[in-house]
A and B are shown apart, each in its own frame.
Chain A
Amino acid sequence: MRLGMLALAAGMFFGVIGGFQFLFPEFLQEFLFTKTRPLHVSLVISSIFLIAIGGIYFYLPRQCRLPLFSVKAVSLHFWIFLVTGLAIIACYLSGQFGGREYFEFPPILSLPIFLTWILFGVNYFNTVRQDTESWPVYYWMWGTGIVFFFITYTEAHLYLIPYFRENMVREIMVQWKSYGALTGSWNMLVYGTALYLATKISGCDKYARSKLAFGLYFLGLFNLMFGWAHHTYLVPSDPWIRSFAYFVSMTELFIFGKIIWDWRSSLEDWQKNRHCNAYRFLIAADIWVFVNLGLALIISVPAFNLFTHGTHITVAHAMGSTIGINMMILLASVFYVIREELPNEVHARCSKQLRSGYLLANLSLAVFFVALILAGIGKGNYDGGSFQEMMLAIRPFLVAFTVSGVTMMIGFWIILWHGFRLMGKIMESDGIAEPLPA
């Protein structure tokens, strides 16, 4: 989890540099946008995995009372991930690419990543199968996330096979299908964590065992498997795929309605639990789910997608989901662990600073999100004439996007600093790195 926090802090820094390069293309010419973008994306994505996986490795032996199948495999997983990550960063810094968007590193480096997921999967399933009672929904979600990450990450490399590579349309379809489903697979890890936290914080097991929880899980799985095609509405393929994806996307309306309902009823709990940092992050995630799902539903309608596709509105959706939902849930996980291990530390020393960081990050994200939507509307009106003129027209929104990116980074850095520092104290005192042996 600490490594994930470091990756997030660094990833946001490269994102801010990239934002300035949008405004001033000459800025850091020796460190091109072709480097800052993959550094930003890869570090942020790796932080999602690191914090989510770190949480699962903590929760299973410590709180679910399931000794890990192999403690050595955890250590091996960590070191392979770290060394591979450093190799990927070195490739980006030296301009060694060769992969595809979001995985721009040379594809040979994907082999150790596959290995880490095999280790994680074997360890996870052999650990949770010790639980002989019916599994709570978060066990299923974590397991589904692991299996589908493996499948979709494999699909993301099909471009190496000539059958796909030599047909650009097929390659784009497969690439974006895999990315859509891959996002769904990490969402399973993150949302599983959210449900775990909701269960533990409320002390009410029904969140993770109710028919509704499993219904939403299967709906999420359905969307993971079939809801990817709104990325490719405008790529030449069979029209029925677009109609089907449109239908699948609209099923998310059920989740949307449920969130509104739950959010209203959870307000009282929130007021009762305002002292709890983890709960505060979960509430922020809840609000961002509402906002982002609303935007996702709009851009999934093919008629609107015609206008929004290929614009910053898509980026607003991606950034809003990654930062507003995934990061808020994962920070809730971080501060839940801290609170469990150091019950008095947060409030005694840094609750004011954490609150400031939380507010700064969320308010900045709101400005960032709106600025991207406005820039996207500007780009959506682009008639194919001068690209420079279009970029000039949306410049005020890009300025707002970059400035809010800086303040958001400061807000997150405040939170991450305290999270990193307090996690360090826990490790010094009793060593989370040494979970219970089998």
Chain B
Amino acid sequence: MTVYTSGTDTTHLPPMSDQARLGQNIYQDKNCIACHQFYGLGGYMGPDLTNVISTRGEAYAGAFITSGTARMPNFDLSPDEVSALVAFLSAVDQTGTYPPKNYAVAWNGTVSQEDDPR
């Protein structure tokens, strides 16, 4: 337990809001992970959403969630549910950067990342 949670403290971030927690539940209840990824982990039908808020913006994400696309169905979510999902995606967005942009590869194949937010 200590090993694999080592270094995962996010004391530099505000605690997850109630709205974001609601969004987290919706994300699970609609099984969004079947198609989307966080940090490259998840399904490949849709894009990785780790930094969708900082790269595309809340309005963009909200519009996609509300209307759906050719590849993603419209889940008929209420405006409150859409806001909650956007709040959850914002919370995830603050945890780090994926894919890493600033990194260095050493001779032995290891990689040091310089865009770790901690």
Contacts and interface: CB of A to CB of B under 8 A. Distances in A.
B39 A100 contact: no
Interface in B38-72: 38-48, 55, 70-71
A236 B7 CA distance: 8
A169 B109 contact: no
Given A34-B34, A37-B43, A236-B96, A166 B16 contact: yes
Given A170-B8, A387-B47, A235 B28 contact: no
Interface stretch (A189-197, A286-294, A296-304): A296-304
B45 A33 contact: yes
Interface in B18-47: 21, 24, 28-35, 37-47
Contacts of A384: 55, 99
A237 B109 contact: no
B15 A100 contact: no
Contacts of B79: none
B29 A235 contact: no
Contacts of A100: 28, 33
A257 interface: no
Given A236-B116, A306-B103, A387-B47, A241 B7 contact: yes
A25 interface: yes
B31 A241 contact: no
B118 A34 contact: no
Contacts, number: 149
Given A25-B70, A302-B110, A97 B5 contact: no
Contacts of B42: 101
A311 B99 CA distance: 12
Interface in A4-18: none
A310 B48 contact: yes
Interface residues of B, number: 53
Given A32-B73, A302-B110, A169 B35 contact: no
A2 interface: no
Chief secondary structure at chain A's binding surface = helix
Nearest to A104: B31
A239 interface: yes
Contacts of B4: 173-174, 177, 228-229, 241
Contact of A306 (B29, B44, B99): B99
Nearest to A310: B40
Contact of B29 (A37, A98, A312): A98
A218 B45 CA distance: 38
A35 B37 CA distance: 17
Contacts of A21: 45
A98 B28 contact: yes
A26 interface: yes
A90 to B, nearest CB: 15
A85 interface: no
B3 to A, nearest CB: 7
Contacts of B32: 34
Contacts of A311: 40, 44
Nearest to B94: A168
Interface residues of A, number: 60
A303 B41 contact: no
A238 B70 CA distance: 40
Contact of B39 (A35, A172, A239, A306): A172
Contact of B40 (A37, A104, A170, A234): A234
B95 to A, nearest CB: 5
A259 interface: no
Interface string A63-87: 0000000000000000000000000
A312 B41 contact: no
A315 interface: yes
A41 B80 CA distance: 32
Interface string A306-349: 10011110010000000000000000000000000000000000
A280 interface: no
B109 A173 contact: no
A162 to B, nearest CB: 9
Interface string A156-175: 00000000011111101110
A35 B15 CA distance: 32
Contacts of B47: 387
Interface of A: 21-22, 25-26, 29, 32-35, 37-38, 97-101, 104, 165-170, 172-174, 176-177, 228-229, 231-243, 246, 301-306, 309-312, 315, 379, 384, 387-388, 391
17 contacts: A25-B70, A100-B28, A101-B33, A167-B10, A168-B16, A172-B41, A174-B4, A229-B4, A231-B41, A236-B96, A239-B7, A241-B3, A241-B7, A243-B110, A306-B100, A310-B41, A310-B48
Given A97-B28, A232-B39, A234-B100, 4 more contacts: A37-B35, A235-B41, A236-B116, A236-B118
